[in-house]
Structure 1
Amino acid sequence: MTSVTSLFSPVEADLQLLTENLKGLIGAQHPVLYAAAEHLFSTSGKRIRPAIVFLMSRATLPNQEITPRHSRLAEITEMIHTASLFHDDVVDQSQLRRGMPTVHSLFGNRVAIQAGDFLFAQASWYLADLDNLEVVKLLSQVIKDFAEGEIQQGFNRFDTSLTLEAYLNKTYYKTASLIANSAKAAGVLSGLPAARIQDIYHYGRNLGLAFQIVDDILDFTRSTNELGKPAGSDLQDGNLTAPVLFALEEKPYLNVLIEREFSEEGDIETALALVHESSGIQRSRALASHYAHGAIPHLEVLPASESRQALARLTDYVLERLY
């Protein structure tokens, strides 16, 4: 199986510097806000989103060093992602993140939300400092998309009429938008022509959709220890993902369990069993594979390089997480 360490070797030094810089970029004067942000920056995340920015930056500047603005874009990307995790964990009432206690479980909901808002504001400030209006628009759209995704997810809880299209739209807003638009922003900073920049966007969009669909499958197939959060938590919270939507087509009783919000003893266990008995997980794997493989052709506009190869191999890594 492809390891993240080997995959990101072309940008290993970039990621090491990013990790060192992030705490300095927080700049929070209040010690609780600082401690909250530092807690999540210090956990053992894979830094996939900034790694994509670094790889795309190097792939679009194959014979040059990336600029300080590319590096700052990667840092902003991780700040936005981290801010979204604060809010996600409050909404989902998650007690664990990457196997560690969540910020809201340590500091309370109010601090977690304020810390998330603070990081969004800090990211916006550094974004404006890049002095590139197109990049500002791209990353501002990401922040807007996060909010839209959260609102859609909240309104669609336990809604068995949710369509696959609506699920994919929400998935784009909450996950793929950041990957797609930050990759696109790297191309903008590299001065690529518009057509190539659009290909970069579509690479990120497809990869981001595949990544989240795989995450949604793992919620049913991995243990709590492996996930770093309770297994089956999305379904229990009423967040209907691809495996459930496909299973609903085959298992009518699943509708009953979801619509009564698992209010009776044994409901959630029965629902999980019905998902596993259906072809929902298998069909979701095919959907993830469709998007992962759909990302690769969009890299062909870039010159051959070690970084481009790593971006292509990243699609395999996303799917390999299932096995």
Structure 2
Amino acid sequence: MTSATSLFSPVEADLRLLTENLKNLVGERHPILYAAAEHLFGAGGKRLRPAIVLLISRATMPEQDISPKHRRLAEITEMIHTASLVHDDVVDESDVRRGVPTVHSSFGNRVAVLAGDFLFAQSSWYLANLDNLAVVKLLSEVIMDLAEGEILQGLSCFEANLSIEAYLEKSYYKTASLIANSAKAAGLLSGVSAELAMHLYSYGRHIGLAFQVVDDILDFTGSMESLGKPAGSDLKSGNLTAPALYALEEKPYLESLIEREFAQDGDLEQAIALIKDSQGIERSRELAAQHAHAAVQHLSDLPHSESRQTLINLADYVLSRLY
């Protein structure tokens, strides 16, 4: 499997600069926040979201270097993503992410919530300073979508009759909205046509959904080491994802286990076994592949370049995480 680091080689130098800038942007005046930022931005994440912004910036400006505004947009995108992770970890009471202690387990809930708020506020301030109203609107919508996704997830806990459509809508709010809207924003900063901007949005939307479905499959098939959290964590907390929803169509007893919220000894293990014994994981793989392939169709109007090819390869990379 290609690693994210080698996949993103066309923007490797851009991503290194981004990591340094993020630590400086967040931590200049606040020692605790700088420690939290060092902790967050040094945690070895894949940098998928800013990489997509930078690749689209380069793919839409093949004859010239990308602008400082493109770079700042990539930084804002990672700030928003990181702020949402800090808050998610507090809500989910997760002690570890990517194998590293979470901000709230290192600094306490109060600092974690404030650090997340600060990152959202600071990203909004830097966003306003791009002086591009269309881009401000796109990324402001993302911040609303992230909150709406969390609320939808909270309201649908242990809801065995959740539809695949409702699951994909929640996945859009929580994951794909940021990728889709920042991809479109990168194109707008390059001055692309309205039609191409919509194609870039659709690319990001489909890649984001494929990425989320793959993550949800890995929650059942991955190891503690690869996930950075215990397998089956989503199911245990009542967050029903594609593998479980598909499995429910075949395994009626699974509904009973979910509705009693795995209250009895062995319920969770039995539920995971039922899901693995169904077509749920295979059908989820097909769902992820549909979205990954749909994403690539939206790149046909971009001129040929190394960055465009990397965006195409990214669709294969997302699916390759399963093998």
Normalising by the smaller structure, the TM-score range is: over 0.9
- Mark the runs of 5 or more structure 1 residues left unpaired by the alignment: none
Say which SS state the counterpart of residue 299 (structure 1) adopts. Answer: coil
**1:206 pairs with 2:206:** yes
Q: Which residue of 2 is the match for residue 136 of structure 1?
A: 136
Q: Which residue of 2 is the match for residue 159 of structure 1?
A: 159
* 1:38 Cα deviation after fit: 2.2
Ranges of 4+ aligned residues in structure 1 off by more than 6 Å: none
Moved more, 90-99 or 21-30: 21-30
Contact 2:97 2:229 in 1 (8 A): yes
Q: Which residue of 1 is the match for residue 173 of structure 2?
A: 173
**1:281 pairs with 2:281:** yes
Q: Which residue of 2 is the match for residue 69 of structure 1?
A: 69
The one-letter amino acid of 1:297's match is: Q
* 1:30 Cα deviation after fit: 3.7
The one-letter amino acid of 1:299's match is: L
CA–CA distance in structure 2, aligned partners of residues 107 and 154 of structure 1: 25
CA–CA distance in structure 2, aligned partners of residues 254 and 87 of structure 1: 30
Contact 2:27 2:37 in 1 (8 A): no
Q: Which residue of 2 is the match for residue 247 of structure 1?
A: 247
**1:216 pairs with 2:216:** yes
CA–CA distance in structure 2, aligned partners of residues 104 and 86 of structure 1: 8
The one-letter amino acid of 2:98's match is: R
Deviations 1:115-157 (A, max 9, x none): 1011000000000000000000000000000000000000000
The one-letter amino acid of 2:229's match is: K
Contact 2:50 2:77 in 1 (8 A): yes
Q: Which residue of 2 is the match for residue 109 of structure 1?
A: 109
Deviations 1:70-118 (A, max 9, x none): 0000000000000000011111111110110111111222211111011
TM-score (norm 1): 0.98
Deviations 1:10-29 (A, max 9, x none): 11110010011111110463
Deviations 1:171-229 (A, max 9, x none): 00000000000010000000001000000000000000000000000000011111111
Contact 2:167 2:242 in 1 (8 A): yes
Moved more, 261-270 or 102-111: 102-111
CA–CA distance in structure 1, aligned partners of residues 267 and 27 of structure 2: 46
CA–CA distance in structure 1, aligned partners of residues 197 and 74 of structure 2: 17
Q: Which residue of 2 is the match for residue 119 of structure 1?
A: 119
Contact 2:23 2:41 in 1 (8 A): yes
CA–CA distance in structure 2, aligned partners of residues 29 and 162 of structure 1: 46
Matches within 5 A, 1:73-92: 73-92=73-92
- Mark the runs of 5 or more structure 2 residues left unpaired by the alignment: none
**1:315 pairs with 2:315:** yes
The one-letter amino acid of 1:186's match is: A
Say which SS state the counterpart of residue 278 (structure 1) adopts. Answer: coil
Deviations 1:232-269 (A, max 9, x none): 00000000000000011111111111111111111100
CA pair 94-175 structure 1, distance change in 2 beyond 3 A: same
CA–CA distance in structure 1, aligned partners of residues 31 and 18 of structure 2: 22
CA–CA distance in structure 1, aligned partners of residues 39 and 244 of structure 2: 33
CA–CA distance in structure 2, aligned partners of residues 3 and 151 of structure 1: 33
Say which SS state the counterpart of residue 177 (structure 1) adopts. Answer: helix
Root-mean-square deviation (CA), in Å? 0.9
CA–CA distance in structure 2, aligned partners of residues 210 and 250 of structure 1: 23
* 1:31 Cα deviation after fit: 2.6
**1:269 pairs with 2:269:** yes
CA–CA distance in structure 2, aligned partners of residues 102 and 239 of structure 1: 20
The one-letter amino acid of 1:19's match is: T
The one-letter amino acid of 1:79's match is: M
CA–CA distance in structure 1, aligned partners of residues 2 and 41 of structure 2: 24
Say which SS state the counterpart of residue 298 (structure 2) adopts. Answer: helix
Aligned pair count? 323
Contact 2:26 2:33 in 1 (8 A): no
CA–CA distance in structure 2, aligned partners of residues 160 and 315 of structure 1: 30
CA–CA distance in structure 2, aligned partners of residues 14 and 129 of structure 1: 21
The one-letter amino acid of 2:178's match is: L
Identity %: 71
